[in-house]
Amino acid sequence: MMTTIFFLLFVICGIVSLPVEIHVNERSGTDALECGSNTTAPCRTLSYAFYHHLNSSRADDLRFILDGTFSDDGTLNANLTAPLNSNSSVRLSSAETNQTKFICSTGFCQLSIDVPLYLVIENLTSNNMSFLLSASSASLYSCTFYGPNMTVRLSPRTEADFQSLSIYNGHVYTQNKLSVTNSLFSSWNFTKDSFITITSDSVSILLENSRFTQANTSANGAALSVHAKNSSISILSCSFNENHSQGYGGAIYIDADESTTLSVSNTTIYNNTAVSAGGAIAFQYDIPNGSWNNNQIEDNHDDIQDNHENVDEGEELACLNCDGCDAVGVCAGNGRHRFCFVAQENAHQCPGAGRIGLYVIIGVVTIILALGIGLSVIFSVIHRRRERKGYTEIDEDTIE
């Protein structure tokens, strides 16, 4: 009986591998062979702890518990690459006793992490530090990042999940699936990048319950710049306000085509500006597939003052290369063309189209009134001629 129990325990332990915790503390730690196994003997640098334990551990889940403040004495400019024989998931977490901070006082600090499978970074704060992340899946939870030179750059193979993330004066660049929920992007002043830049086809993009505010860049789409054909873009319960682009799309720029699905709901886009066109959103091509529900687009402006020779535009929504379409749910441009924004069953009239529609209605009413007046004049002339003819016949009978 006891043999059976021990055998079962052995099998269970073999199947379920408990996470291994490695403690790191720059102030009290020492980089030694056995460091990190407990809080009393932590490793000093994340670089040493990372490489040593990934080399020696067979655990499926390694959790690096970071305690205290890590400065730019060489530990931040780290390249953490997992050995080829390691398939562990890696988690960087803040110790419960203290919010871990990365402080970079020099011009540039970067933490580069390359692991085969899963990477999680949680409950960390960093100042002026960039992250270069490569894994099959990278998740950032409850982190706060400050610029001015802060970037999260994800490798082409990395699918990213951001939750409760706050980025101040920073930027995210990805070429794969991206999910952002319950997050804040604020105060980004840079020359060439948006808050979020996505450059890959056939991806899924979700922004949910997040706010994007006060980006000021030369990029198209100060808050969100998407270059993704054959993709799915969902923006749910978000807010885009006070963003400025020196190009197209004050808040959002989308370079996609008819193979892409765009769904926007319960989202507010207000007080954004663009130098070129599309104070709120600029499209590169028609996007006929998707939905538009319960959104508000208000007080967005561009600076070209209706001088649009090659752009179909309402001042808040613009399209740069649109061929027109037959769907009902379109945003009319400046009267020359139409461009598809949402599918027919979810028809939406954009502000620019509203004015065009009003002009059309006024024109139709004017034509109807003109026809009515013209017909009235014609009938009046005919009636008078008939009356005169009647009077002539009466006079002739009287003479006879």
Which two tokens mark 247? 């190009």
Range of lowest pLDDT (121-125, 243-247, 340-344): 340-344
- Enter the DSSP assignment of 157: T
d(CA 390, CA 396): 10
| Closest of 310, 315, 323, 252 to residue 283, by C-alpha | 252
For residue range 283-337, list pLDDT tens digits in order. Answer: 887 776 777 788 888 888 777 644 444 444 456 777 777 654 433 233 433 333 3
Q: How many helices (H) and strands (E) does the chain have?
A: 3, 35
For residue range 159-174, list pLDDT tens digits in order. Answer: 999 999 999 888 899 9
d(CA 208, CA 206): 6
Tell me if 71 sits within 8 A of 105, measured CB to CB: yes
Q: Is 116 exposed, middle or buried (0-12, 13-18, 19+ CB in 10 A)?
A: middle
Could you give the residue ranges of the DSSP H alpha helices within 26-159?
46-56
Find the Cα–Cα–Cα–Cα dihedral 316, 321, 325, 329, rounded to 10°: -20
Is residue 112 predicted with pLDDT exceeding 60? yes
Q: What percent of the chain has pLDDT over 70?
A: 73
Q: Return the exposure string of 66-100: e unless at least 16 CB atoms fall within 10 Å of the residue's CB, then b.
A: bbbbbbbeebbbbebebeeebebbbbbbbbeeebb
pLDDT band at 23 (very low <50, low <70, confident <90, very high): very high
Is residue 269 predicted with pLDDT exceeding 80? yes
For CA atoms 370, 371, 374, 379, give the dihedral sign. negative
Query: What is the pLDDT at residue 355?
Result: 42
Is residue 206 predicted with pLDDT exceeding 90? yes
Query: What is the pLDDT at residue 205?
Result: 92
Under the phi-then-psi rule, with left for phi > 0, alpha for psi from -120 to 50, and beta for the rest, what region is 200? Answer: beta
Query: What is the pLDDT at residue 332?
Result: 37
Query: What is the pLDDT at residue 322?
Result: 64
For residue range 28-80, list pLDDT tens digits in order. Answer: 899 988 899 888 999 998 889 888 888 776 678 889 999 888 887 656 788 88
Find the Cα–Cα–Cα–Cα dihedral 43, 23, 25, 86, rounded to 10°: 60
Q: What percent of the chain has pLDDT over 90?
A: 27
Residue 375 phi, psi dihedral angles, 5° rounding: -65, -40
pLDDT band at 7 (very low <50, low <70, confident <90, very high): very low
Mean pLDDT of the chain: 77
Is residue 122 predicted with pLDDT exceeding 80? yes
pLDDT band at 361 (very low <50, low <70, confident <90, very high): low
Query: What is the pLDDT at residue 282?
Result: 85
Q: What is the mean pLDDT of residues 117-138?
A: 91
d(CA 99, CA 376): 84
pTM assigned to the model: 0.75
Q: Between β-strands 124-127 and 144-154, what pairing exists: parallel, antiparallel or unpaired?
A: parallel
Is residue 356 predicted with pLDDT exceeding 70? no
Query: What is the pLDDT at residue 207?
Result: 96
